[in-house]
Amino acid sequence: MGVLTNIGLISFVALSAYLLILAGEMSFGQQGFFGVGAYTAGVATAMYGVPLPIAALMAMGAGAAAAFLVGLPTLRLRGLYFAMATLAAAEMLRIVFELIHFQREIDGEPVGPDGTQGFRGIRWVFENGVEREGYLAMVWGLLFVVVILFLIVERSKLGATLRMLGEDPELARMLGIHVERFKLGVVATAGALAALGGALYAHHNTYIEPRNFDIMLGVHSLAYALIGGLGTVFGPLLGVLIDIGALEGSRVFHGYRMIVFGGLVAVLLIFRPRGLLDERVVHWLKRRLA
């Protein structure tokens, strides 16, 4: 049960990294917006009694705003420069989480982010009688909605523009697309998506700490998108499923998980540099199914 919920939660970050890759940008910093979402939603429900759905919306807003602010000065950066700028931003956010001491007394107990000590007692789910199964259904339901939205966008003109931006921004510019404005929108959307994952993550774990949002999560989500494949929205989900599901679920590789997974990924990328479900496979599958 926990594994299934985790797969769902991490999928949100993986999808936000995937969205940026489609637009031709590689981000090392999606974990920062995941963290912004987790902290925002946690503060809202645990300290001010806001219901989770509204808190999740607030988290998405905060994530989008943070991503917008990071995106604005870094819009013209590409490749490694953009990756490093997003990494720097995410690390700054993580350190800010370490510096925040913002607590309120609730029922005689201090509640709220306490720097490196973390943020305990995000118990909205528990207090409102949501069963673990119910929460799992909620996470996967939201993920389902996000996937559907992705599928709709990818079939639309918007999706074509997105991929064109990734392939050839100059061509896109010549065709009259406001490349900067469009990219800023993508960055903010990806930030909101990661933040939604963070909000759900905080309420699943009931405890978050700044370390949860370090570079490991960010690079993992990039890796998930790349292993699973860049051809379809199901690619990143497959990546998460392979790592967390197959390897953590089965205890066969206990203690050697990263050795197995790491080697698998490196070898896989030699043969399939755009992942298992890359554009060619997706195209072939579509033709087969049609």
Partner 1 sequence: MILDLIQNSFDGLAMGASYALLAVGFTLVFGVLRRVNLSYGPAIMFGCYAATWVSFSFHSNIFLLLGIAVLGSVLAGTYVERLCFAPHHKGSAIAAMVASFALWMQFEEVVTLVMPKHLYDFPPMFDAEPLAIGPLSLRAEALVMLACALAICFALHRMLYRSRFGLALRAVTDAPVAAQLAGINVPRVLLLVFLLASAIGGLAGWLIVSTHTQVTPMLGMWSTLKGLLAMMIGGLGSLPGAVIGGLALGVLEAHSQWFLGPQARDLIAYLLLFVLLAWRPRWMTTSHG
Angle at 20 between CA 14 and CA 23, to 5 degrees: 145
The answer to whether the CB of 30 falls within 8 A of the CB of 90 is yes
281 binds partner 1, rule: CB under 8 A: no
By rule CB under 8 A, what string of x and - marks binding of each residue 226-245 to partner 1?
xx------------------
- Residue recorded with tokens 């800023």: 184
Q: Is 39 in the site for partner 1 (CB under 8 A)?
A: no
Q: How far is the CB of 78 from partner 1 (least distance, A)?
A: 11
Task: Check residue 222 for interaction with partner 1 (CB under 8 A).
Answer: yes
Smallest gap from residue 29 Cβ to partner 1 (A): 10
Task: Supply the minimum distance, in Å, between the C-beta of residue 181 and partner 1.
Answer: 18
Shorter beta-carbon distance to partner 1: residue 201 or 261: 261
Question: Among candidates 151, 139, 167, which has minimal Cα distance to 234?
Answer: 151
Output the CA angle 13-16-17, nearest 5 degrees: 90
Decide whether 12 or 261 has the Cβ nearer to partner 1.
Answer: 261
- 65 vs 265, beta carbon nearer partner 1: 265
Give helix then strand counts, H and E, for the chain: 15, 2
Cβ neighbours, 10 Å, residue 35? 29
Q: Of these, 174, 270, 289, 290, which contacts partner 1 (CB under 8 A)?
A: 270
H or E stretch covering 154: helix 132-155
Q: Is position 141 an interface residue for partner 1 (rule: CB under 8 A)?
A: no
**Diameter of the chain by CA atoms?**
63
- Name which of 132 and 163 has its Cβ closer to partner 1: 163
**CA atoms of 254 and 60, how far apart (whole Å):** 36
Minimum distance of partner 1 from residue 118's CB (angstroms): 15
User: Which position among 3, 145, 246, 267 is part of the footprint of partner 1 (CB under 8 A)?
Assistant: 267
* Residue list 65-104, contact with partner 1 (CB under 8 A): 73-74, 77, 79-81, 84-85, 88-89, 91-92, 95-96, 98-99
In the complex, least distance from residue 240 CB atom to partner 1, rounded to whole angstroms? 14
* Half-sphere exposure of residue 92: CA atoms within 13 angstroms, side-chain side: 9
**Shortest Cβ distance from residue 100 to partner 1 (Å)?**
11
Write out the H or E segment, with its range, that includes residue 221.
Answer: helix 215-228
Out of 65, 142, 184, 219, name the contact with partner 1 by CB under 8 A: 219
Contact call for residue 256 and partner 1 (CB under 8 A): yes
Q: How far is the CB of 218 from partner 1 (least distance, A)?
A: 10
Close Cβ partners of 175 (under 8 Å, ≥ 6 residues apart): 164
Is 259 a residue that touches partner 1 (CB under 8 A)? yes
Q: How far is CA 270 from the centre of its chain?
A: 25
Distances (CA, A) of 207 to 106, 129, 240: 16, 18, 22
